[in-house]
A and B are shown apart, each in its own frame.
Chain A
Amino acid sequence: MPLRRWARSSAAVLALPVLMAYLFFVMSRSVDVLEDNWLSATVLVSSAAVLAAGPVCAAAGAWEGARLARGGVDGAAAARSRAAVLAWSLLPILGAALVALLGGLALAGVAMAGVPGLPDPLVLAVALLVIVAWTLAGFAAGRHLHPLVGVPLLLVGTWLWLAYPAALETFWVRHLTGNNLGFCCETHTVYDQRALYAQAVVAGCLAGAAFLVWSRRRGARLAWAGIAGLPLLAVAVAVPLVRDMGPEAQVPRTSGLACGRSDGVEVCVWREREKRLGTAALIAVPGARRLAAATGLPAPRRVTEGPATGGDSWRFAAPPGAKPDDVLFGLATSLLPAEPPVCGPGWSGADAYGPLSAWLALKAGAGQDAVERRTGPRSLGAARRALARPEAAQVRWFRHNLDALRRCDVAPSEVTLP
């Protein structure tokens, strides 16, 4: 029978408009905050597609499973294997899931116009696997449950599993669902692949167990062993992969830089921002030279958006829409520690962060208004007081307060206004 004839009677085709409406609703809330990288767009699309298509396809699977059961296909002495029967019934649902993914990609593509790169196929493949797994779970439930029970159960149950773990304080659970919460990654980070592998394992085991439930014959002990064993396998393999992960599945990005040289300094930006390499170099290289002179640090040989490996390599950021002051501010604050030291209560070193940021930014050449917007008037005031001193005293002030940011036994000095 032609596929279009088969698809005509499929629940997935009837549910497709609802699915697409929900997908666009989910995406429209997030598409404006996309970072300028395709990984961010891919994760948003996969999250929206999984959240929208997962429950709908699971419910459609429950309907189709019940339809096959009511049609007596299970006992019809078919020459086709059960896997083939299932695959044929799965096709329209899979088609709907693909339409959802492509629709999401089209929306994201509009928002990402001009950004070089492509969607991450691994993220999309895992999203599709998650949707297929829940669809198979629907088939398995549909074989045994009346559609009035199975369809709403799968619709709501799947949605809850995908959406609710984000509200739990136990972070690792959210990394197993495949929803990905709609965000990842800033351009200087990449998706933590362990979460993807964990999702693939969970989805694969769910799909396997669901297929066994759907296709098992009475008394098939091997099938029962699989049904019981696959969820255990999923827990045993997937949970250790994500147990120590924080709320977000991101790790620093280490590759994908586009580099050039400017005035003897290598300047690198993320390849998505390659068009802005020249402009960034014109801002960052002189700024770095000014900072080196002001702080007494050796001038960097490299300024980069990627990892800065040592004293001669400084970081900066030139995201889309960034003004020169923003670039200089990022370059200046990269000289400060990214994380505070682990000190007991009473540590006051954090008070130095704002004044030092303001002082460094002003030294790098940023405008006072921009600095005030970012650090506040009190920090700017402290920085201006420091600037009124002789250069050598300024350097001593900077180094002392830098120590205060790094150590627990050094108190900041003259970082508050009288």
Chain B
Amino acid sequence: MPISFHGCAFGHRRGSHVFTRLDLDVPAGRTALIGPNGCGKSTLLALAASALRPRRGRVSYQGLDPFRRGNLARYRALVGWMPQGVRPLPGLTAREQVGYAGWLKGMSRGNAWRRSLEALETVELGALADTRCAELSGGQLRRVGLAQTLVHDAEVVLLDEPTAGLDPEQRERFRRIVARIGERGHLIVSTHDTAELARTYDSVVVLDRDRVRYAGPVAGLDSVAGLDSVTGLDSVTGLGSTTGLGAGPGAVAWPGAAAGIAGEV
């Protein structure tokens, strides 16, 4: 399992909560994280990135708990995270931004600088490496953000709604890039873009409020009743309709996944 959540509780303010008890083993490969606005997708990714610390419980990657003494830097070097808003440092070019991000992730300055161009080429932005980020379009900026998550060869890449607000051509380009990234390591993408889930992802996690409603292969999603109200789509997989198919809540079994999920579904 690339990322595991065990009994995680989290709230942004005292008294509020996003998760009261989250148990989830995110499977290997390419995983889509879907759910309605405000259900905690971004928070889950931020917890997975160790940008947020759970109030209770623990997050781990292959048993490595980032908040155990001495683990944080190692954990963060293994995980790449692109939050929803890509915020470049004012004054930096795309390559400088990516190189700086690599350095932040623990790479040597020289190595980060060398790898920054490769990362930009991976996201098809090599030609704009020396352009200031302020001059890039929203879609190009997202790709700079993506390059930042790739520059240090993270084993797990977390992308928070990378295609939100992009035009169809940019989305298609993103899908292409995401597919390539998924071949190199584990990928968790929160998205509302559920078209062609099956073609892009191996598995899917459905969040509803602070609960995991489904975690399993994309192909199994259509068999779970009632998810269309969560996903807002008739067919989230692109393979068929969810309506009237499958068993009720609790019937989903994720092959090889932790039993912890069952209690949440």
Contacts and interface: CB of A to CB of B under 8 A. Distances in A.
Interface of A: 1-3, 5-6, 8-9, 67-68, 70-73, 75-81, 85, 88
Interface stretch (B22-30, B101-109, B120-128): B101-109
Interface stretch (B77-85, B191-199, B230-238): B77-85
Given A9-B96, A79-B105, A80-B104, A2 B113 contact: yes
A6 B95 CA distance: 11
B91 A76 contact: no
A77 B79 contact: yes
Contact of B51 (A3, A68, A71, A75): A75
B104 A67 contact: no
Interface in B104-148: 104-106, 109, 112-113, 116
B49 interface: yes
Most buried by B among A1, A3, A8, A75: A1
B174 interface: no
Interface string B64-97: 0000000011101101010101011111100010
B2 interface: no
B76 A9 contact: no
Contacts of B54: none
A79 B96 contact: no
A1 B89 CA distance: 14
Contacts of A68: 89
27 contacts: A1-B99, A1-B112, A1-B113, A1-B116, A5-B99, A5-B113, A6-B100, A8-B91, A9-B89, A9-B91, A9-B96, A67-B90, A67-B91, A70-B90, A71-B89, A72-B83, A72-B85, A73-B89, A75-B83, A76-B51, A76-B81, A76-B104, A78-B104, A78-B105, A79-B72, A79-B76, A79-B104
Contacts of A73: 89, 104
Contact of A77 (B51, B87, B90, B103): B51
A73 B101 CA distance: 9
A37 to B, nearest CB: 43
Contact of B109 (A2, A75, A85): A2
B200 interface: no
Q: Which range holds the interface residue count of chain B?
A: 20 to 34
A71 B99 contact: no
Contacts of A5: 96, 99, 113
Contacts of B106: 79-80
Contacts of A79: 72-74, 76-77, 104-106
Interface in B205-230: none
Contact of B89 (A8, A70, A80): A70
B50 interface: yes
A76 B74 CA distance: 15
Given A2-B109, A79-B74, 12 more contacts: A1-B103, A3-B109, A5-B96, A8-B91, A9-B90, A71-B87, A71-B90, A77-B76, A79-B77, A81-B73, A85-B104, A88-B103
Contacts of A67: 89-91
Nearest to B79: A77
A76 B90 contact: no
A275 B138 CA distance: 72
Contacts of A8: 91
A148 to B, nearest CB: 14
Interface in B34-53: 49-51
A68 B104 CA distance: 12
B49 A77 contact: yes
A193 to B, nearest CB: 39
A71 B88 contact: yes
Nearest to B85: A72
A365 to B, nearest CB: 70
A68 B91 CA distance: 11
B76 A78 contact: yes
B90 to A, nearest CB: 5
Residue of B85, B91, B105 contacting most chain A CB atoms (<10 Å): B91
A1 B51 contact: no
B101 A76 contact: yes
B87 A1 contact: no
Contacts of A76: 51, 81, 101, 104
A1 B109 contact: yes
Nearest to A63: B90
Contacts of B99: 1, 5
Contacts of A77: 49-51, 76, 79, 81
Contacts of A71: 87-90
B61 to A, nearest CB: 12
B106 to A, nearest CB: 4
A80 B113 CA distance: 16
Nearest to A8: B91
A222 to B, nearest CB: 15
Nearest to B112: A1
A76 B88 CA distance: 11
A146 to B, nearest CB: 13
Given A1-B99, A70-B87, A75-B51, A9 B105 contact: no
Contacts of B74: 79
Nearest to B66: A77
Contacts of A1: 96, 99-100, 103, 109, 112-113, 116
A96 to B, nearest CB: 16
Nearest to B99: A1
B101 to A, nearest CB: 7
Contacts of B88: 71
B17 to A, nearest CB: 16
A83 to B, nearest CB: 12
B81 to A, nearest CB: 5
A1 B88 CA distance: 15
A85 B113 CA distance: 16
Nearest to B132: A9
Contacts of B113: 1-2, 5
A79 B104 CA distance: 6
